[in-house]
Amino acid sequence: MVNAKISGVGGYIPEKVYDNAYMESIVDTNDEWITRRTGIKERHISADNEYTTDMATIAGKRAIENAGLTAEDIDLILLATVTPDYFTPACSCIVQHNLGAINAAAFDYNAACSGFVTGLTIAKQFIQTGTYKNVLVICADVLSKATDYKDRATCVLFGDAAGAAVVSASEERGIISTDIGADGSSGLAITSLAYRDDEEETEKRVSRKKDTIWMAGQAVMKFAVKAMADASQRVIDEAGLTWDDIELVIPHQANYRIVDSAIKRMGISKDKVFLNLEKYGNTSASCIPVALTQAVEQGKIKKGDKIVLVGFGGGLTWGAAVLEW
């Protein structure tokens, strides 16, 4: 059977920065609290007229170039977002047009922060069945446009970014194993409302704006640590490997404490973990592909290395993968 391998990666980070000093100026918080409880120092924020598809187009273009392909080589565009430009058309269709990917089918999906590993899992199926040769997986979010800047418990966490990867048919091993899952019974731990009229949910928001993000932070943190450790172990077992075989782990960049507790549970050293959350905060599904792109650019991943990607998020969902680079 043909394998699915990442052949190119790309990211995009908007220019504007909200540092902790700026957060101190808008809510009752301080640099010491944010740093100690999350590890975040800065987050990048999209311009007023910059939206998910604008950022996704740039990240997608960079990933295609990095793969040495052209837009016309792409057979399918998968786009993960919780902050779409429109409910319809799908962001992926707008990006298809922007890129000139005239041969690509396109659809959006929502697995919140677990979007990248979910996208790799979908791409792998289409490639292994021989349906497609090149699938572009893009994660993009303008979380700042859905953030309640009156809620100090959430507004210090989020930033904006886009990250992308081309997954191509290959004889090399590539994406060895993936594990995605959901616990819908805890779904209301992170919410942002669309059409549903839910007064109870709306009332939880400091701003009372129903399309902003609300979160039960402690509950999500507890879920995240176990979900990340368990899913990583399952993909490593399925790959027939042990933690000693893994050169690098790229986790969802939500909170330093979550990552720290999860890696203690996994029993691995911090040196194996790639973190950039200090500079960007939590950018939802984009966290992992942006970090992966930077790890590649910084020479932290060499051909043949085995790496683990692992995330969790709204839904609640999780996703982990073992890749051979």
Active site residues: 113, 252, 282
d(CA 263, CA 257): 10
d(CA 227, CA 35): 24
Residue 112 Cβ vs ligand UT7, minimum distance, rounded to whole Å: 7
Nearer to ligand UT7, 106 or 254 (CB): 254
Q: Give contact residues for ligand UT7 (rule: CB under 6 A).
A: 29, 33-34, 37-38, 113, 152-153, 156, 190, 215, 217-218, 220-221, 224, 254-255, 258, 282, 313
Extract long-range pairs of 48-52: CB within 8 Å, 24+ residues apart: 50/14, 50/142, 51/85, 51/142, 51/145, 52/81, 52/83, 52/84, 52/85, 52/91, 52/140, 52/141, 52/142, 52/162
Phi-psi region of 39 (alpha: psi -120 to 50; beta: other; left: phi over 0): left
Residue 28 Cβ vs ligand UT7, minimum distance, rounded to whole Å: 7
Nearer to ligand UT7, 18 or 325 (CB): 18
Residue 57 Cβ vs ligand UT7, minimum distance, rounded to whole Å: 24
- Under a CB-based contact definition with an 8 Å cutoff, are residues 139 and 289 in contact? yes
Strand arrangement of the beta sheet that strand 306-313 belongs to? 175-182, 317-324, 306-313, 248-251
Residue 220 Cβ vs ligand UT7, minimum distance, rounded to whole Å: 4
| Residue 221: closest CA among 252, 253, 257, 249 | 257
Nearer to ligand UT7, 94 or 316 (CB): 316
Residue 29 Cβ vs ligand UT7, minimum distance, rounded to whole Å: 3
In the complex, residue closest to ligand UT7 by CB: 217
| Residue 152: closest CA among 201, 215, 202, 211 | 215
Nearer to ligand UT7, 39 or 174 (CB): 39
Nearer to ligand UT7, 2 or 221 (CB): 221
Residue 54 CB partners (closer than 8 Å, separation 6+): 46
